[in-house]
Amino acid sequence: QDNRVGFIFRMDKDGNKREVVAGGFRNQVDMDFDANGEMFTFDADMEWDIGAPWYRPIRVNHIVSGGEYGWRWGSGKWPSTYPDSLPTSLDMGMGSPTGVVFGTRSKFPNRFKEALFLADWQNGKILTAHKKPNGASYSFEFESFLDGAPLNVCDMEFGPDGNLYFITGGRGSQSALYRVSWTGQADKIADQPKLNPSQTRRRQLESYHQNPNPAAVTAVWNDLGNPDLWIRHAARIALERQPVPQWENQIFAEDNIDIALTGLIAIVRMKTTTEADRSTFQKRVIAKLASIADQNQFHANTGQRLMTMIRICGILFSRHGHPESKISNQIAKLFSVFFPNQKEALNCELLELLVFVNHSQCYPAAFDLLESQSQSQESQIHIARSLAHIKQPWPAGRNKIFINWLEGAKRFRGGHLLQKTMQTMQKSFLKSLTPQQKKSLVSELAILERPIEKQSIFQSRELVARWNIADLKN
């Protein structure tokens, strides 16, 4: 895995005191603040990953204190369904984000004064994204402001005259400076939108992010269970900034399901354990999860809560060691009743966890999903990657299913890295087979060696006439 991850730093004028404000970006080359001081950026995709479950399009992100936006190289990206990852504010397909600026200082019509201007180098466009409040954050709708062929916009800014200036060029192309002016009648100056109560509450919680504060735990506690993800996030980061002994036992005693689940994310992230007490801590966390799943109210919002529980286990074992067999059995008992699941995202995460704890009873259903191809291409890849971690020998029938799937996956469509991903998976699978298995699967393995038949998208049609230029003139 490549460790390149984008961050946003805050520093003093000399650059000596530096603080990470937010992280988990692909390649955010610019950002700006709206009239209320809210920060936004335009982050890049990795086009080579198209077709894989970890692909994410170019996106507008609302940047908040302590925000984690989930970018990691390759398959390490956090899904947007993770409860400790903040979601996109606007997905926009493929492109190459560069400059970002709000129209606040422009002399454009009012609707552009509140818009976020976005430069797309690849597609030769400047877009405007119009925001509207969405709980404690925002959502956007976008439109094309101007475009050209080519118009590889590198950066832009509003000048003192209220006009938009942008520059093109890069990678050996011709550079030029442009100005965009408004020649119509000026609008009456409108009042800037103020923060709504949810956005104000998020900011209040963020005020506890800087330093430990004896009043913080009580002040943020109820918002750990807030239905608004952005408020919940701000409350959790505030809690994590306080000494763990002040709130650890309170989490395990909490009866409210959503407060307890958010608190468990915080405790497995912030708790430090030694070799001697890791098992005890893991048992305590799993026991709390089991008690939550037993509550009748748990089923009122099973999807979100179940994803949070899976994520808690993922953090728990990555930071506090591989579970002993007794804990693994408890995990299997707790989560196997939800697999397979009607929601693809849960299917993928559940299977990954169940394979991790070697719950072999789930394997038949997982191979059935792969054989039926009832899941999307992206989910099939996720499921196959999880199954590939099961140690051989497998029953012959399962090897045949996997071989047939690998052969079919050659036709998956996507970016530059997709087929390399499939080839790597195939090589790992073949390497895992014993000589005896390979001998018994000769005919099946031969399928993998066959080249893909190229099928024309055109059907043969009867020739009606051979037209020429003279016919067209008539």
Write down the pTM of the prediction. Answer: 0.90
Q: How far, in Å, CA of 364 to CA of 384, rounded?
A: 13
pLDDT over 90, % of the chain: 86
Task: Please give the pLDDT value at position 189.
Answer: 80
pLDDT at position 299:
81
Instruction: Give the residue, 344 or 449, on which the prediction is more confident.
Output: 344
Rounded CA-CA distance 110/94 in Å is 29
Cβ-contact 81, 70 below 8 angstroms? no
If you average pLDDT over residues 385-409, what whole number do you get? 95
Alpha carbons 292 and 327: distance in angstroms, whole number: 17
Record the tokens describing residue 351, joined without a space: 């299977």
Task: Return phi, psi of residue 185, to 5°.
Answer: -75, 135
Is 60 exceeded by the pLDDT of residue 239? Answer: yes
CA angle 316, 79, 432 (to 5 degrees): 75
pLDDT at 207 over 90: yes
Q: With 90 as the cut, is the pLDDT of residue 327 above it?
A: yes
Cβ atoms within 10 Å, residue 224: 27
Give residue 33's Cα distance to chain centre: 23
- In this predicted structure, the answer to whether residue 1 has a pLDDT above a threshold of 50 is no
**Res 411 pLDDT > 60:** yes
* C-alpha distances in Å from residue 18, one per residue of 11, 14, 124, 209, 447: 4, 10, 35, 15, 56
Handedness of CA 146, 149, 151, 152 (dihedral sign): positive
Strand partners, 68: 23
Between vectors from CA 161 to CA 158 and to CA 163, what angle results, nearest 5°? 45
Cα-based torsion angle of the residue sequence 355, 46, 341, 301 in order, rounded to the nearest 10 degrees: 110
CA distance 217 to 222: 9
* 147 band by pLDDT with thresholds 50, 70 and 90: very high
The bridge status of strand 173-180 relative to strand 125-134 is: unpaired
One-letter amino acid at 2 equals: D
User: What's the alpha-carbon Rg for the chain, to the nearest Å?
Assistant: 27
Report pLDDT digits (tens) over 243-296: 999 999 999 999 999 999 999 999 999 999 999 999 999 999 999 999 999 998
The angle formed by the CA atoms of residues 74, 80 and 84, to the nearest 5 degrees, is 105
Q: 19: helix, coil or strand?
A: strand
The candidate with the shortest Cα–Cα distance to 379, out of 388, 370, 368, 390, is 370
Span 79-105, average pLDDT? 95
Burial of 337 (0-12, 13-18, 19+ CB in 10 A): exposed
Coil/strand/helix, residue 125? strand
Q: Confirm if 74 and 132 have CB atoms less than 8 A apart.
A: no
Position 9: which residue type?
F
Predicted pLDDT of residue 454: 56
Across all residues in the chain, what is the average pLDDT? 93
Kindly tell me if the per-residue pLDDT of 2 is higher than 70.
no
Q: Per-residue confidence at 394, pLDDT binned at 50, 70, 90?
A: very high
Structure confidence at residue 463 as a pLDDT band (50, 70, 90) = confident
**Mean pLDDT confidence for 38-57:** 96
Average pLDDT over residues 437-450: 91
CA distance 417 to 49: 6
pLDDT by residue (tens digit) across 162-204? 999 999 999 888 899 999 999 998 888 878 789 999 999 999 9
pLDDT in tens, 358-390: 999 999 999 999 999 899 999 999 999 999 999
